[in-house]
Structure 1
Amino acid sequence: MTAHVEQLEFQAEARQLLDLMVHSVYSNKDSFLRELISNASDALDKLRLEALRNKDLDVDTSDLHIELEVDNAARTLTVRDNGIGMTRDEVVDLIGTLAKSGTGELRQQLREAQKAAASEELIGQFGIGFYSTFMVADKVELLTRKAGESGATRWVSSGEATYTIESVDDAPHGTSVTMHLKPVDAEDELHDYASEAKLRELVKKYSDFIAWPIRMQVERRTPAAEEGGEESVTVETQTLNSMKALWAKSKDEVSEDEYKEFYKHIAHAWDDPLEVIAMKAEGTFEYQALLFIPSHAPFDMFTRDAKIGVQLYVKRVFVMGDCDQLMPTYLRFIKGVVDAQDMSLNVSREILQQDRQLTAIRRRLTKKVLSTVKSIQSERPEDYRTFWAQFGTVLKEGLMSDFENQDALLRISSFASTNSDDELTTLTEYVERMKDGQEQIFYATGQSREQLLKSPHLEAFKAKGYEVLLLTDAVDEIWVGSVAEFDGKPLQSVAKGEVDLDSEEEKAQHAAEREEQEKDFADLFTWLKETLSDHVKDVRLSTRLTESPACLITDTYGMTPALARIYKASGQAVPVSKRILELNPKHSLVTALQQAHKSGSDAERLAETAELLYGTALLAEGDVPDDPAKFAAQLAERLARTV
């Protein structure tokens, strides 16, 4: 028997909001179930707390749970809880109106999200998650009774201008929401919310770690034992969620196998994690985090669509996967969960960018990950080598973007060097091995170790025993421009600026010889600068060559050709930068060219020799001449004359 039935109009702004939601296509309709389960979980939490506070509250809290019920014939889905429930006034206040929700701002954001086709589920941000049901249902019925009260309330609406509300004499305490589901198009079978498999999928994805059991009755069919017999059908109740919030437990309470299983579940990975990082923060804001360093890099780590691997939960409710506000992009391989306690559910990525709490959490997580890698580096060398082989390249991206943690990143980085054929070195180890009087950390960038070791730029360094870092990742060309020094030692490219490795005593000894060479080669250098003006900005004597005739040098603050190619490949316009041609005054080719120039040899032949000299300098550093066909023709013709 029912009584006191009313038909009421939605508040004007609520009606506009409903219209937007019902007639808009959102990127993730699945969120409605998360919202309802979240509301149910909150209701169970409130009842448990109220039962502790109010000893006179006559309710049974021995089996608090959430239940999903599907009626395929009627195409309805019901989400039911035996939590705190609501009074009639609370239903009108919380569902019939949006008096406390800031609707003007919300409607504007929904419209913008709709226009941009990128709504990040703004539903829920203003405490209106219940309204998301109208994305999937033609009609919604709510039945609720406040714990400790006798009367219940039924609320019904089709998402139009009005709703009905009536008092009901008998109902269990708690709340049930029954959705009359919209028809499923043949092309939209992925959104069949009357499907057992779909409901299992959504609970596993969004609500697996809700603290309360989420149950559903399922039919199980058993084939007939004899031919011609009928199969038997049994109904059993199953719990769909694990309720295992491992991040809420200390490491002592969780087994290694449980961590491995959880990692594989959230990371969709087959490997075991290299390291588990558990964190718990208390104070002005609280959060718990469970992060994993994988042992293998994900296949998409360097693709354009690569995602941050950390999920955001609020009070054990899944809010967002691949949350790029929780971890910098250079740590995108980190997998895990962050569970914040004082944040609204279902916030958008745009709102998260403005959230100071998320910014603080990100800073702490980043520092924790880097300090953990540092511990692995010092305590478990083999695991560190595995880590660096898998993630070193992407980690170095942070050197040019995260200046706050740049020093920490430098200290956990490793590089190949001329000191060893197979062992990598840290910058700390490099500095410890520096020669007396050496003030700079020398490095060379290129495509491979083998190419760099044969580079003319390294000749004087090898001859004098200076160690040089060999940087062969594409990112190395970029980050070296962002790092000025390490432990007070500036980084110096062997292919940039002027390099003089002589000691003060050697400089004094060679001063006279150097001055004589400058005079002797002055005319040749002037001529070469004019002849090769399309390619080089200057020609000078080299102090870094001992075997090769020539090499090309970039100004101290100039852009290397390799870096220019990287920027060009990314669509950025870069100015053409000419380099400096350095010549070895003791090489036979250079001295012969000098003599030929002095003697007034055939100008055309000399110009061709200059072009070949420039081309060989490019080839020696792994580059190619501007006109490879012309260079090949000149070289073939010159060789033909010598046969």
Structure 2
Amino acid sequence: MQMERHGFQAEVSRLLDIVAHSLYSDKSVFLRELISNASDACDKLRYLALTEPGLLKDDPDFKVNITIDKAGKKLTIADNGIGMNRDDLINNLGTIARSGSAKFMEELAAHKSTGGTEDQKNLSLIGQFGVGFYAAFMVADKVEVLSRKAGEDAAWLWTSDGKGEFTLAPAEKAGRGTDIVLHLRDDASDYLDAGRLASIVAKYSDHIQLPIHVTGDGEDRKVNQAAALWTRSKSDVSEEQYRDFYRHVAHAFDDPWATLHFKAEGKIEYTGLLFIPSTKPFDLFNPDRKQALKLYVKRVFITDHCEEVLPHWLRFVKGLVDSEDLPLNISREMLQQNPILTKIRAGLVKRVLGELAKKAENDAAAYGEFWNNFGAVLKEGIYEDAEQREPLLKLARFRSTKGDGLVSLADYVGRMKEGQNAIYYISGDSLEAVSKSAQLEGYRAKGVEVLLLTDPIDEFWIPSVEKFEGKEFKSVTRGGADLDQVKADADAKPEEKKPAAEGIDNLIALMKLSLKDAVKDVRLSSRLTDSAVCLVAEEGDMDMRLARLLKQHRQLDATLPRVLEINGSHPLIAALSKAVSNGGKNDAVTDASWLLLDQAKLQEGEPLNDPASFGQRLATMLQKAF
């Protein structure tokens, strides 16, 4: 059969060059990555063999062998796991950073421009994109992958020099599994030393649950403990061991932000070793992202995609759960209906939220870092999970008009003004945009704190919650601002309320007539102090940002008319009011009305219905001004 030649599906030459020469300072990481992949392959076959024991045949004991060939300058990492066929090799090894190579490049640029050590930035980046296999090209100028899938007779040889192409050809292999042969570079000869390899395995992969052997220098020896880390007592596990296990189980390179190691005893017994990452994965909000907590039964791997172990809004949690009560031969379909899993899920959620509550109370700065990474995901829980809504609301943190720090809802309620009966918020696409919104002017003048919300999920959880400690949530972009009821602080400077311009009623009537159905109403504003106009949603109408989000996703066709509020004491409004009272030309006032409406839309980030007319009116006004 003729050899096949394929091109990698990515910006290959540049990407592989980055992986091989720029991302890692510690080249020995390549061995950890290849061993982790081998371990995963064995775990997958162990699970399949529960229902298809024939897959193991005459080779039931899983293992990883690292073989040194000094004469040939080759290093082989071999496993007897599930193996790969032709399609698997193309899909798994022929598609680099399959979550998106362009995104990979963007993240690389972002990491290079931010703080932190090079090791932290680069290793975190690799962990996000699952390109650890290609770290082999740091030490090898050619990589061969010989693999035979369990239950199949055909074997395939994948070969690449890491410069843009790979070849695939039929091959011969005695048993199942995968052999990765690294043809080492001249500067990587130290990886042909058995003692050096043993120390690397002991550092990175001591916890792997299958024996790892190094064969070379005339001996064959096991170089790891091959013990399940989670079965040990917490006092017997070091922070470094927890870190290395987290990196193995999560395929990550950062340090865990929090580690939860526990054993639940009673009617249901299970062990949990859970980790909360310290960095946010780039695909956290990808709809295809699955729950990554591994499920074991009596230390036998079952699955790493059990959606019932944790709710989707805790999808950032990594680690594993090992149950003593689930049947060993349970199928994936049965898992979804098993009542024991429901109880395990409730216990895990309680422990994770309890750990977060302790962190929030004892280390606000560290909790702030966590919230910046994963707060938007927890807000999904507020929306989706009514049972956990109360503890999640207590964990929630927000930016506000009070300063740069994060505030809790309890903090907000505790410093509400006398006469204030609602928790005020404003939502938008960015912190910079909402903090400069004209709707905030009156609230700032009164010293009323407003929460600044920038996550899309904010538009959904707030309507489902409605109240916190008896205080309703109220958007400052809705009509009916009740600022007159709020009393200023005793030591505050008395508020100077400027009267509306004379003839303002006539101006409002003419603006309503000019704008017609383009607005729902035109009225005087009690919230504006500096700006001339702003748009607000009528009470009971859909919030403006929610409407904008739905329209972007084509779930809303028409643009909803809004209320145009005007600042009766603003010099421009006063001038227009005076012009109307003096019998000024209606055409000029009409043009000014449309310009003010368009100005209000631009302030809100809304698209203009007729940009051409806006430009013409603006040009006419400027011409008259000079």
Q: Does 1:540 align with 2:523?
A: yes
Distance 1:392 1:632 in 2: 42
* Counterpart selection for 1:488 from 451, 459, 470: 470
* Counterpart selection for 1:635 from 618, 622, 626: 618
What's the offset of the Cα at 1:574? 5.4
Q: Cα deviation per residue 1:517-568 (whole Å; 9 max; x = unaligned)?
A: 7995444434323322342111112111122221111123322332223223
* Counterpart selection for 1:453 from 432, 435, 438: 435
Report the TM-score when normalising by structure 2: 0.65
- Pairing of 1:331-370 with structure 2 (within 5 A): 331-345=314-328, 349-370=332-353
Distance 2:458 2:543 in 1: 12
Question: What is residue 601 of structure 2 aligned with on the other side?
Answer: 618
Question: What is residue 67 of structure 1 aligned with on the other side?
Answer: 61
Question: What is residue 569 of structure 1 aligned with on the other side?
Answer: 552
* Counterpart selection for 1:328 from 298, 304, 311: 311
Q: SS in structure 1 opposite 2:539?
A: coil
Kindly indicate whether the alpha-carbon contact (under 8 Å) linking 1:314 and 1:344 is maintained by their aligned counterparts in 2: yes
Q: SS in structure 1 opposite 2:463?
A: coil
Distance 1:490 1:540 in 2: 25
What letter is aligned with 1:476? D
Q: SS in structure 2 opposite 1:482?
A: helix
What letter is aligned with 2:455? D
Distance 1:522 1:295 in 2: 58
Distance 1:190 1:388 in 2: 51
Pair 305,36 (structure 1): closer, same or farther in 2 beyond 3 Å: closer
Pair 338,188 (structure 1): closer, same or farther in 2 beyond 3 Å: farther
- Pairing of 1:62-461 with structure 2 (within 5 A): 67=61, 182-184=153-155, 194=175, 197=178, 220=215, 236=220, 238=222, 243-345=226-328, 349-420=332-403, 422-461=404-443
Pair 354,189 (structure 1): closer, same or farther in 2 beyond 3 Å: farther
Q: Cα deviation per residue 1:578-609 (whole Å; 9 max; x = unaligned)?
A: 11111122222223323333444333222211
What letter is aligned with 1:286? E
Question: What is residue 111 of structure 1 aligned with on the other side?
Answer: none
Q: SS in structure 1 opposite 2:531?
A: coil
Kindly indicate whether the alpha-carbon contact (under 8 Å) linking 1:293 and 1:335 is maintained by their aligned counterparts in 2: yes
Pair 260,210 (structure 1): closer, same or farther in 2 beyond 3 Å: closer
Q: Does 1:606 align with 2:589?
A: yes
Q: Does 1:478 align with 2:477?
A: no
What letter is aligned with 2:175? A
Q: Cα deviation per residue 1:312-369 (whole Å; 9 max; x = unaligned)?
A: 1111111111322212222111101011222244655554332222222222212221
What's the offset of the Cα at 1:259? 0.9
Pair 616,261 (structure 1): closer, same or farther in 2 beyond 3 Å: same
What's the offset of the Cα at 1:453? 3.1
Kindly indicate whether the alpha-carbon contact (under 8 Å) linking 1:477 and 1:563 is maintained by their aligned counterparts in 2: yes
Q: Cα deviation per residue 1:612-640 (whole Å; 9 max; x = unaligned)?
A: 01011122334342223331232122112
Q: SS in structure 2 opposite 1:309?
A: coil
Q: SS in structure 2 opposite 1:596?
A: helix
Pair 599,266 (structure 1): closer, same or farther in 2 beyond 3 Å: same
What letter is aligned with 1:324? E
Q: Does 1:530 align with 2:513?
A: yes
Kindly indicate whether the alpha-carbon contact (under 8 Å) linking 2:427 and 2:458 is maintained by their aligned counterparts in 1: yes
What's the offset of the Cα at 1:247? 2.4
Q: Which runs of 5+ in 1 are unaligned?
A: 1-27, 41-64, 71-76, 80-178, 223-233, 507-512
* Counterpart selection for 1:464 from 436, 443, 446: 446
Distance 1:450 1:403 in 2: 32
Question: What is residue 85 of structure 1 aligned with on the other side?
Answer: none
Name which of structure 1's ranges 377-386 and 241-250 shifts more when overlaid on structure 2: 241-250
Pair 29,377 (structure 1): closer, same or farther in 2 beyond 3 Å: closer
Kindly indicate whether the alpha-carbon contact (under 8 Å) linking 1:445 and 1:452 is maintained by their aligned counterparts in 2: yes
Q: Which runs of 5+ in 2 are unaligned?
A: 1-40, 54-58, 65-78, 82-149, 158-167, 182-200, 489-496
Q: Cα deviation per residue 1:398-430 (whole Å; 9 max; x = unaligned)?
A: 22112221221121121111111x222111111
What's the offset of the Cα at 1:502? 1.5
Q: SS in structure 2 opposite 1:365?
A: helix
Question: What is residue 482 of structure 2 aligned with on the other side?
Answer: 500
Kindly indicate whether the alpha-carbon contact (under 8 Å) linking 1:210 and 1:317 is maintained by their aligned counterparts in 2: no
Pair 78,403 (structure 1): closer, same or farther in 2 beyond 3 Å: closer
Name which of structure 1's ranges 585-594 and 290-299 shifts more when overlaid on structure 2: 585-594
What's the offset of the Cα at 1:237? 6.8
Determine which structure has more spread, i.e. the larger CA radius of gyration: 1
What letter is aligned with 2:622? L
Distance 1:191 1:409 in 2: 56
Kindly indicate whether the alpha-carbon contact (under 8 Å) linking 1:495 and 1:552 is maintained by their aligned counterparts in 2: yes
Kindly indicate whether the alpha-carbon contact (under 8 Å) linking 1:414 and 1:425 is maintained by their aligned counterparts in 2: yes
What letter is aligned with 1:457? Q
Report the TM-score when normalising by structure 1: 0.63
Q: SS in structure 2 opposite 1:431?
A: helix
What's the offset of the Cα at 1:575? 5.1
What letter is aligned with 1:479? W
Number of aligned pairs? 459
Pair 266,69 (structure 1): closer, same or farther in 2 beyond 3 Å: closer
What letter is aligned with 1:445? S
Question: What is residue 146 of structure 1 aligned with on the other side?
Answer: none
Distance 1:601 1:188 in 2: 86
RMSD, aligned α-carbons: 3.9
Q: Cα deviation per residue 1:32-78 (whole Å; 9 max; x = unaligned)?
A: 544548999xxxxxxxxxxxxxxxxxxxxxxxx963699xxxxxx99
